[in-house]
Amino acid sequence: MKDAAAQLVRSNLVTQYNNILDQITSSSQDASFNGVNLLNNDALKLTFNETGTSTLKIQGVQFNATGLGLSKLADFNDNSSATAAISTLSTASSTLRTQASALGSNLSIVQIRQDFSKNLINVLQTGSSNLTLADTNEEAANSQALSTRQSIAVSALSLANQSQQSVLQLLR
């Protein structure tokens, strides 16, 4: 004879398990970003340069309840059905870990490329700023200094020329 209280607990566990499977399926369907859902078997192609020669293609997986090998349960009447469900969950967990590792590796590649691109953009912006954004006060002071030097040089040449003329005048 089966314990009625234990059967009620098992029945509630089956209901919770089936509800969680529904949540897994709806979460995997809702996990899209910019129209790409890697958990719904979509593919994502990232292009790292303007010529399209450096790319990374990430193939998504089907990670709804069915894609993980999980199916709804009718009951947990005995320990063997519970053990079978635990074994299925362990396999699904291992599959999730493996895919998380693969996605983590791809994320690392993308982050490294993003950091490189950001640094390159900063270098290019700094260089263009140095070429186009001059300090007007400093440039005006430099221009005035050059003008003053030119004026002094002209005056010096004029004085030198006049003194030579004066010496020649005295000798005549």
Q: Could you read off the pLDDT of 7-28 as tens digits, one per residue?
A: 888 889 999 999 999 999 999 9
| CB of 56 closer than 8 Å to CB of 109 | yes
Tokens of 77: 């009447």
The predicted-structure confidence for 121-148, as pLDDT tens digits, reads as follows 999 998 888 777 777 788 788 889 999 9
Tokens of 46: 């990232």
Tokens of 21: 């499977």
Question: Is the model's pTM score more than 0.85?
Answer: no
| C-alpha span between 165 and 161 (Å, rounded) | 6
Per DSSP, helices labelled H in 31-171 are 79-132, 136-171
Going from N- to C-terminal start, the domains of the chain cover: 4-105, 143-172
